Structure 1
Amino acid sequence: MFKKILFHKELSPKKKMKNSLLYLSRVRGAKKAWDKRYDRVLAANKKYSTPCESQVESDHEKLWSDFRRKADLTTLRVSKNISGVSNPKIIPEDIYVADIEPTLITDKSVDYISIKSFYNRWFPEGIFPKDLFHRIDGQYLDRNLEVSNYNELQRLAKQITYPVILKPNKDTYGGMDINIVNNAEELLSLANKRKNFVVQEKIKQHDFFEKFHPKSLNTIKLFLYKSVKNDQLHILSMALRMGKNGSLDNESAGGVSTFIRDDDSLNGYAVDKLGTKYLEHPNTGAPFDCKIPDLDRLRTLARKIGNKVFFARVFALDACYDNEGNWRIIELNTYGQSIRFAQYGGQPFFGEFTDEVIEHCKENHWALN
């Protein structure tokens, strides 16, 4: 890719130099981050470094050679040793971060739509959690985003039904700083420490999901892709995320995840953030071999929301099934997708669209613009 940047006819010499340095920085940063992660994965599971068949590794390196002279084989090997599936179209994590995602997300302003205080302004009420109060850039706002004040928050804190959720409304990931709040004193104490937050209803989940880990809201992560060829929206894959040992469902918080097959069944095992496999939930003993109910209705809802997302061709939704049998969307994520949920399940993240994504990113790479 460096050669393409340097010899690109439409870039000025100054732009070539600038883009080359930016690309080098991003490549080095991605490699450093994923080397660190996989060092931990392989320290916990040494057998995951076992090579795949030589032809598969050769095909893998060739497929991704436009982005790296010699693609790192670690993602391929770890994915194969977890899932048992060897597929050269598995995306190296560092290439996804440095090359693919920034090319498919053409405008950073798309992140505006992922600010949690705005969900119920962008989409019909009843899909996302009900808002109770907001603070944006230090300013207090009521549930309708009308200007309010701290006195109003104090009044509200005495009237609402607990528990509620207080979470950052921007710049957060992995369940960071999400609090289940049980009383007014706790709510006001947390609110005083943050310039940006949203207070939301606490959704009670359906018994089907409760059985896996009752102490967390267990969610479905859906990954969506808007085709670079015809703008058609596709659901790439889904995974069920569950808490463990009292944690949130996010893997970075200690949770586990299991890939969902095309027939809506779980794929028989879950993994934690280090790739360690579980054939049943370590706390409840719930097996990972059942079918998820009512997923067609979730797919319909996901497409309805996805068709209103612009300037990003890859993004994700977090969904839960509430105690009344309704699918609710918890979050919309535009950056930093966990492509390993699919790949540790044996499926390349972009599946049947891998070739078109590669071709598009070769010709329209962000560093060529």
Structure 2
Amino acid sequence: MTDNAAAAAAMAPVDPRRRRLMLAASFGACLAAWPSARLRAQDLRLRASRHMMGTVVDIAVAGGDADLLRSAQAAAFERMAALVAMMSHYEPTSRVAAINLAAGLQPVAIEPELMQVLAMAQRMSRRSGGAFDVTVGSVGRWHFDPRDPVMPPAGYIAAHLADVDWRQLQLDERAGTAYLARRGMRIDPGGIAKLAILDAGLQTLKRHGVTQALINGGGDVVATSGGAQRPWRVGIRDPREPSRLLAAIDVREGFVASSGDYERCFVRGGRRYHHVLDPKTGYPAQGPHGVTLVGTELAAVNGLGAAAMVLPAREAHGLIGQTRGVQALIAGRDNGLWITAGLRERLQPA
């Protein structure tokens, strides 16, 4: 499964008493900075990384018991891996693959976690007028790894574009089933499953007693820092110049979700193809360079960035403005920046 992995973050618990930071490690699309002073036992911090969903997923945790932290990290990775196996459209034994195989034939029983993700996809499709559409997988499988890129033939995309229609995905929450109404349709939940999977990992950490944690999956970040603990500092990569950070933001609870045209892409025939597809064309969207969203509710943030990458600027601004509790930064195709007032007040120098 691959997904929106477009921003970068510099992450560290913010300590106003300490100004000197030591660069400790690179978290895929993120950088982690730890205080250089000697840590007390209760300040123990651990980081672990695994490759999944086409990116590197990092878990940073803090607390006073190393065994508890390591056990919680292992449980979170196990939980996320199970959800990836359930929701990946690349995995032939997944529930998503079963839905695609049974398209036009019969409903498929699905787990509550997948039902939740697909229901979020339906709601975002409705709100965005189809700018986000989980059935965009009907136009074929794209692979954006520059070492081994795959683009469906133009004729295949044209022949199957009519099958991209979120209305034909029928969810029966009472029966616990999903059904694609037309033969040949496919769902690709990559644009909405990753953030839900990362959040499931965070909830697992919490159930294991971890109160200060951050999970980063290729630029999508979910974090918690409770009580008197320091918030996490998350830096936002500049979509116009991805090699530098634009700003930083302190996060105590919630999500920093990013979509962009510069992370997972390849060049063919002099044209650059990126991973956010426009459901109306079957090809990469021609919208802004990048979108970064900040919010505390998964359902509000999830899928919104992908929709904003597809919509015209005015419509994207309106859709975000109508979403309660979400702040945003958009780097437009003209290299201009649009930042909501709430986020502008929270931005700090990177």
Q: TM-score range by the shorter chain?
A: under 0.3
Q: Which has the higher helix share?
A: 1
Q: Which has the higher strand share?
A: 2
**Higher Rg:** 1
TM-score where L is the length of structure 1? 0.26
